[in-house]
């Protein structure tokens, strides 16, 4: 009998998360188009981000962490499924069919539900519309509030948002995109009730923050752990609401940048980032007040590199820091993103990791923390050992891979210290950079390293699987 008891005890112990007996709450905060150099803790000097800087001081910076893609939708698909853009369904910002998560895909949210977590997505989805199999409620999220349609999310003063599968009417004025968005999201044909008084505006980011505080407060009353995916729209370019403020990026106010001798779009860009920082700080404070901060992991990252849309000048802020390129590039500036892990009871304060990881790894990491098996057929490796300081047991990638179909086509690989680029995809000449020595990818060393170039060519073949929705245009 004693032997049976011991066996049962050991079996039950193995089902618990490997860091301890209590499953952590998990919050993944995703900024939209935030550059590697846009935060103070990653070298920014003009834009103030004290709360994210404090999280980095109290947690871990990942200095070689990669987004899933160089634009929005495929990057979020990689984050949710753990499949890179050589294998996932959504490989670009395309038509609805090409931008809807298939029912067969297993998402992070589905695995967390399997582990007993309450799950919520607040913010921008972009992977499935109302009535489709890609809707968040059909992809593992108990609760959703925000934008389903990616283009709709470019308007920060929208006429409506979506809560689960219901329309939430707001008080904002109709924008030029309203009719197109209304049709694409299957709203009532007459659009009745969506026009609003001119004296009332509702900034969607602020609504998301309010919703987050309410949802976290509700979950704190429950016994089950929670997983929150907060997909912010800030600091993506936005001026579809008729330029509510200034001549570019729209924010309720320019805050501490109002008196700067900068163009209005730059004031708006900086104000968005500082507003985001303020609100993330308030979330951390709420967790502390609820007494659940020690058992809550917060991951903060960006869906791709910085942009130069809406009239802002990224050179003013040195938005990509030491990196080359930006959004829509597969150079480091387009895909290497500022990433912070904050978990007071586990992650070493003031630590920094050069572990090469990325969005593909999130599903394996979340499953590791929740005590469930990661889904098969992904390119995902848990970085939970790195979070715990157990670097000896941290597995490494043979390679990371990206492909991109806009403005021609291109591919990229990261393997060891090497970065390989090829444009056009499949047929272009391979460029090679040692990004550990040349982070700015200034010197193409392909000629001096023919064996490494040949290795890159083989990896390019291995990494790509055909997708009928995504074909290289000849």
The rounded mean pLDDT for the chain is: 90
Instruction: Give the domains, in start order, of the chain with CATH numbers.
Output: 22-396 (3.40.720.10), 404-463 (3.30.1120.10)
End-to-end CA distance of the chain: 71
Average pLDDT over residues 343-372: 98
* Of 379, 441, 369, 403, nearest in space to 79 by CA: 379
- Give tens-digit pLDDT for 418-429: 999 999 999 999
Counting beta carbons within 10 angstroms of the beta carbon of residue 458, is it exposed (0 to 12), middle (13 to 18) or buried (19 or more)?
A: exposed
| 36 in Cβ contact with 336 (< 8 Å) | yes
Average pLDDT over residues 372-389: 97
| 329 in Cβ contact with 67 (< 8 Å) | no
Of 15 and 373, more confident:
373
Of 389 and 184, more confident:
389
- Give tens-digit pLDDT for 288-315: 999 999 999 999 999 999 999 888 899 9
Q: Determine the pLDDT at residue 96.
A: 79
Three-state helix/strand/coil letters over the chain: CHHHHHHHHHHHHHCCCCCCCCCCEEEEEEECCCCCCCCHHHCCCCCCCHHHHHHHHHCEEECCEECCCCCHHHHHHHHHHCCCCCCCCCCCCCCCHHHCCCCCCCCHHHHHHHCCCEEEEEEECCCCCCCCCCCHHHCCCCEEEEECCCCHHHCCCCCEEEECCEEEECCCCCCCCHHHHHHHCCCCCCCCCCCCCCCCCCCHHHHHHHHHHHHHHHHHCCCCCEEEEEECCCCCCCCCCCCCCCCCCCCCCCHHHCCCCCCHHHHHHHHHHHHHHHHHHHHHHHHHHHCCHHHEEEEEEECCCCCCCCCCCHHHHCCCCCCCCCCCCCCHHHHECCEEEECCCCCCCCEEECCCEEHHHHHHHHHHHHCCCCCCCCCCCCCHHHHCCCHHHCCCCCCEEEEECCCCCEEEEEECCEEEEECCCCCCCEEEEECCCCCCCCCCCCCCCHHHHHHHHHHHHHHCCCECCECCCC
Q: Other C-beta atoms within 10 Å of 217: how many?
A: 12
Q: Determine the pLDDT at residue 172.
A: 83
Average pLDDT over residues 231-235: 97
Q: Determine the pLDDT at residue 12.
A: 36
Say yes or no to pLDDT of 434 above 60.
yes
Is the pTM above the cut of 0.75? yes
| Helix 362-370 with 72-81: angle, nearest 10 deg | 30
| 422 in Cβ contact with 431 (< 8 Å) | yes
What percentage of the chain exceeds 90 in pLDDT? 80
Say yes or no to pLDDT of 112 above 80.
yes
- Give tens-digit pLDDT for 27-83: 999 999 999 999 999 999 999 999 999 999 999 999 999 999 999 999 999 999 999
Say yes or no to pLDDT of 1 above 70.
no
Say yes or no to pLDDT of 338 above 90.
yes
Average pLDDT over residues 161-165: 97
| 304 in Cβ contact with 327 (< 8 Å) | yes
- Give tens-digit pLDDT for 122-155: 999 999 999 999 999 999 999 999 999 988 999 8
What percentage of the chain exceeds 70 in pLDDT? 88
The pair phi, psi for residue 27, each rounded to 5°, is -125, 120
Of 4 and 79, more confident:
79
Q: Determine the pLDDT at residue 200.
A: 56
């Amino acid at each position: 009998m004693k032997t049976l008891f011991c066996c049962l005890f050991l079996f039950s112990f193995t089902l618990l998360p490997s860091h301890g007996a209590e499953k952590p709450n998990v919050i993944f905060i995703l900024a939209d188009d935030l550059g590697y150099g846009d935060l103070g803790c990653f070298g920014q000097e003009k834009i103030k981000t004290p709360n994210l800087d404090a999280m980095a001081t109290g947690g871990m910076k990942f200095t070689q962490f990669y987004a899933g893609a160089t634009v929005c939708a495929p990057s979020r698909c990689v984050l949710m499924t753990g499949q890179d853009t050589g294998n996932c369904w959504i490989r670009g910002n395309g038509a609805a069919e090409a931008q809807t998560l298939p029912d067969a895909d297993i998402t992070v949210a589905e695995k967390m539900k399997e582990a007993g977590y309450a799950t919520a997505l607040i913010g921008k989805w972009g992977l499935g519309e109302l009535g489709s199999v890609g809707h968040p409620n059909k992809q593992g999220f108990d609760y959703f509030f925000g934008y389903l349609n990616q283009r709709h999310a470019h308007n920060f003063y929208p006429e409506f948002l979506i809560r689960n599968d219901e329309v939430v009417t707001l008080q904002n004025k109709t924008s030029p995109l309203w009719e197109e968005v209304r049709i694409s999201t299957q709203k009532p044909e007459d659009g009745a009730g969506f026009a609003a008084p001119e004296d009332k505006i509702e900034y969607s980011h602020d609504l998301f923050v309010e919703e987050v505080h309410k949802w976290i407060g509700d979950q704190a009353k429950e016994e089950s752990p929670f997983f929150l995916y907060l997909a912010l729209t800030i600091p993506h370019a936005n001026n579809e609401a008729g330029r509510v403020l200034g001549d570019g990026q729209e924010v309720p106010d320019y805050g501490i940048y109002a008196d700067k001798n900068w163009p209005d779009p730059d004031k708006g860009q900086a104000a968005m980032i500082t507003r985001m920082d303020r609100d993330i700080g308030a979330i951390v404070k709420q967790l502390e007040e609820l007494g659940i901060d020690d058992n809550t992991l917060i991951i903060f990252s960006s869906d791709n590199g910085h942009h130069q849309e809406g009239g802002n000048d990224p050179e003013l802020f040195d938005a990509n820091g030491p990196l080359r390129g930006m959004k829509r590039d597969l150079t480091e500036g387009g895909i290497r993103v500022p990433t912070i892990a904050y978990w007071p009871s586990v992650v070493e304060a003031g630590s920094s990791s050069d572990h090469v990881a990325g969005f593909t790894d999130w599903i394996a990491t979340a499953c590791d923390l929740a005590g469930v098996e990661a889904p098969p057929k992904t390119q995902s490796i848990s970085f939970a050992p790195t979070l715990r300081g157990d670097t000896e047991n941290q597995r490494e990638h043979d390679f990371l891979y990206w492909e991109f179909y806009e403005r021609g086509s291109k591919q990229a690989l990261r393997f060891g210290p090497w970065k390989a680029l090829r444009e056009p995809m499949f047929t272009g000449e391979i460029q090679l950079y040692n990004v550990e020595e040349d982070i700015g990818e200034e010197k193409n060393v392909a000629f001096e390293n023919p064996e490494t170039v040949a290795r890159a060519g083989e990896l390019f073949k291995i990494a790509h699987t055909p997708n009928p929705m995504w074909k290289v245009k000849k």
